[in-house]
Amino acid sequence: MNGAPDTAMVLAAGLGIRMRPITATKPKPLIEVAGKPLLDWGMDSLAEVGVAKAVVNVHYLPEQIVAHVSRRQKPSIIISDESEALLDSAGGIVKALPELGPKPFYVINADTFWVDEAESNLARLAAAWDASKMDMLLMLADLRSATGHSGGTDFLAAPDGRLSRAGGDLSGLIYAGAAIVQPGIFAGAAITKHSLNLYFDRAIAAGRLFGLRMNGSWITVGTPDALAPAEAAVARAQAVGA
């Protein structure tokens, strides 16, 4: 470990098209599961591990997210406004780099979340982070621990945690929407719309993309009918941890 990150990028600018009609009037990160907005599940996890500052990007119905996060005390929130142009996952990070600083930082998706077991998964990521050999360390979930996931797997993990693309292999793991990232991987990148997948592939080619299998339950809500299973998954996870 090279020290836990104290800044984070929270990706909250998506359109949430598949969640309509709910997202006709509310941005997806503010949809509630188990009485808590999706956005706050991740923000609470960041606060728990001592993140001091989080940059939250906004695009769709941005004023609602701005008003919501203004009521938080921890972490301190900086808004990265993408109202004029949606920049996708990597473009949003590049735009926010001046606020994120020169040290490795967390990246989390605002519309997926997880319920930890005894130990925080973000703390486990920080403990496993090794800047000397990693460009990115991804939190991963297996299909059995995932609720609401309708796709396949994303990565195969070697015994040392080094990742390669799963290529449809069902024994692979899902990217669980949380990572630690070296800011240097974005050196020279333009503030244009582009995806983190570009940087995943570059890190794979360099042998510097690593993953850590999460503990607990990972939950995604892509469509309105995924809300009930998500509520049930949280109830089960909290019962186990009680």
In this prediction, residue 144 carries a pLDDT of 84
The answer as to CATH 3.90.550.10 being correct for domain 7-241 is yes
Is a pLDDT exceeding 80 seen at residue 45?
A: yes
The band of 16, judged by pLDDT with boundaries at 50, 70 and 90, is confident
Cβ contacts of 99 within 8 Å, gap of 6 or more: 7, 53, 55, 78, 80
Q: What is the pLDDT of residues 173-229, one digit of tens each?
A: 999 999 999 999 999 999 999 999 999 999 999 999 999 999 989 999 988 988 998
The share of the chain scoring above pLDDT 70, in percent, equals: 98
Note whether 238 and 138 are within 8 A (CB): no
Sign of CA dihedral 40, 38, 41, 108: negative
What's the CA gap between 143 and 174, in Å, rounded?
Answer: 7
* Residue with tokens 């995943």, as numbered in its chain: 200
- Give 79's strand partners: 56
pLDDT at 14: 86
**pLDDT at site 132:** 94
Query: What tokens were used for 105?
Result: 């930082």
Can you give the pLDDT at residue 114?
93
Task: Give the chain's radius of gyration (CA, Å).
Answer: 17
> Encoding tokens for residue 4?
């836990």
In the predicted structure, residue 36 carries a pLDDT above the cut 90: yes
Lowest mean pLDDT among 16-25, 88-97, 114-123, 145-154: 145-154
Q: 69, 39 in Cβ contact below 8 A?
A: yes
